[in-house]
Amino acid sequence: MTTQSDKNVEPVTSNNNATRKRTQKWLLVILAFGILAGSFYGIRWLHYYVTHASTDDANVEGDLISVSSTVSGKIRLLPIREGEHVKKGQLIAQLREEDYQAQVDVAAGAVQAINASLNEAMADVLVVRGKTEKDVERAEAVLSASQARSKEAEANMQLATLDFKRVSKLYKSKTVSASEMDKVQAAYNLAQARLTSAAEEINENRAKLEVTRANTGEVTIKQRRVESLKGKLEEATAELEAARLKLAHTTVTSPIDGVVAKKISHIGEVITAGQPVTVIVDLNNIWVEANLEETQVKHVRLGQSVDLNVDAYSKTRFTGKVINIGAATASEFALIPENRSAGNFTKVTQRIPIRIEVVDPAEQLRPGMMVTVGIDIRKTKQ
């Protein structure tokens, strides 16, 4: 005999069984869908793994330019902010100029003083040279005149000698008188005296000419002083240019178009030559540096297409191409290279640096951002 409670239990059990069957059915559907989806993505991942050389050991790189001054000084102006875009030649920092302006003034004064001394010495050379040349010309003229008189005296001496010989013969033959002989003798003695005087005058004038010519040594000495002053002027001019260059270097400008990544120095700080003032990054020259395992490099070639997934822009797809394959592993450039001489060796897969050019980035990449790369090696494998 069936009671009322038994009648109530049967419908409840039937409902539970139906619910359980529906749940199992949905679980089977979900499981089948999951298996299909997993298989799809698994096959995709496997295909990508086989056709691409990939690594997550990669990051964005760029040219980080450390801007510094070539002179020491106190910063009085620093009109830049971190993150600010700057143009090539734009003012980065202005150092205190007074000390370097004073050096320029001192050097300019030295150049002016040496230049005045040089002009004076050159004028002195011209005066002394002109006077010496005139004295030499005068002495040469006097010597020439004395030589002419000497030749005249020689001619007179020859004539007097002939007359003396001729009259002497006549006098011995009693043809001429003693008074005539005395006249000829006197003329001969006078001609001889004049010839001797002319020779002495030539020697004296020749000595004077030598003395005058010796005075040209003074011109040489003064000319040497001119050359010395010219050398000092060149040295002082070079010092003036160096001082002006240092003064110009108190103005520090940007060497490139870029963005101020970091300010290192501040207004009022005294910096030394070569001390960085700021770091500027050229965002137009950005690339990705990937460290690829050596076992994956076999099929990597220049120009291959690369998929780039930047962590900062997870929803943006970047593309690139291989532009350089490292000539050595990254470990070769370590500050402390591995020492294998002790015999303790553990084989570790090395990594080859691969440089990748980013093609038309949709977002502004920054150096240091982490990237996952996948290099398409299908053509190489085929």
In the predicted model, what is the mean pLDDT of the chain? 82
Q: Is residue 117 situated within a structural domain?
A: yes
Whether the predicted pLDDT of 7 surpasses 50: no
Q: How is residue 5 written in tokens?
A: 């409670």
DSSP state, residue 331 = G
The pLDDT value given to residue 216: 66
Q: How far apart are CA 104 and CA 96, in angstroms?
A: 14
Residue 3 domain-assigned?
A: no
* Confidence check: pLDDT of 295 > 60: yes
Question: Do 180 and 283 lie in a common domain?
Answer: no
CA–CA distance, 89 with 257 (Å, rounded to integer): 8
pLDDT of residue 363: 63
| pLDDT confidence tier of residue 224, bands split at 50, 70 and 90 | confident
234-283 tens-digit pLDDT: 999 999 999 999 999 999 999 999 899 999 999 999 999 999 999 999 88
Residue 317, classified by CB atoms within 10 Å of its CB into exposed (0-12), middle (13-18) or buried (19+), is exposed
**CATH number of the domain that 303 lies in?**
2.40.30.170
**Tokens coding 299:** 């099929």
Task: Tell me, yes or no, whether 308 and 213 share the same domain.
Answer: no
Q: Report percent pLDDT > 70 for the chain.
A: 86
User: Total structural domains in the chain?
Assistant: 2
Final residue belonging to a domain, choices 227, 247, 267? 247
Cα–Cα nearest to 370, from 291, 293, 260: 291
H or E stretch covering 138? helix 98-172
CATH of the domain at 115: 1.10.287
The answer to whether position 23 is within a domain reads no
pLDDT for res 320: 92
The answer as to whether 242 is a domain residue is: yes
> Which of 247, 268, 298 is a domain's end point?
247
Same domain, 153 and 288: no
Q: What percent helix, strand, coil does the chain show, rounded to 5? A: 55, 25, 20
> What pLDDT, on the 0 to 100 scale, is given for residue 296?
87
Question: Is 205 a domain residue?
Answer: yes
List pLDDT tens digits, range 35-59: 776 766 666 667 667 788 889 999 9
Average pLDDT over residues 376-382: 80
Whether 77 and 119 share a structural domain: no
What mean pLDDT comes out for the span 221-234? 87
pLDDT in tens, 112-169: 999 999 898 888 877 777 677 676 677 777 777 777 777 877 887 888 888 778 878 7
**Greater pLDDT, 106 or 176:** 106
Does 34 fall in a domain? no
Assess if residue 129 is contained within a domain. yes
Same domain, 173 and 201: yes
Question: Residue 253 falls within a domain, yes or no?
Answer: no
| Angle CA 110–114–118, to nearest 5 | 170
pLDDT of 374 over the 70 cut: yes
- Tell me: do 306 and 268 sit in the same domain: yes
Q: Would you call 87 helix, strand, or coil by DSSP? A: coil
In whole angstroms, what is the distance from residue 179 CA to residue 53 CA? 142
Q: Residue 232: what pLDDT?
A: 92
pLDDT of residue 213: 65
338: pLDDT strictly greater than 50: yes
Domain residue limits at 377: 49-95+258-381
What is d(CA 170, CA 181) in angstroms, rounded to the nearest whole number? 9
Q: DSSP secondary-structure letter at 301?
A: -
Pair (178, 217) in one structural domain: yes
Digit-coded pLDDT (tens) for 155-181: 878 888 887 788 787 777 777 777 777
- Residues 236 and 175 both lie in one domain: yes
> Same domain, yes or no, for 164 and 64?
no
Given 189, 212, 247, the domain boundary residue is 247
Question: Are 183 and 113 members of one domain?
Answer: yes
Are both 163 and 226 inside the same structural domain? yes
Q: Does residue 163 sit in the same domain as residue 55?
A: no
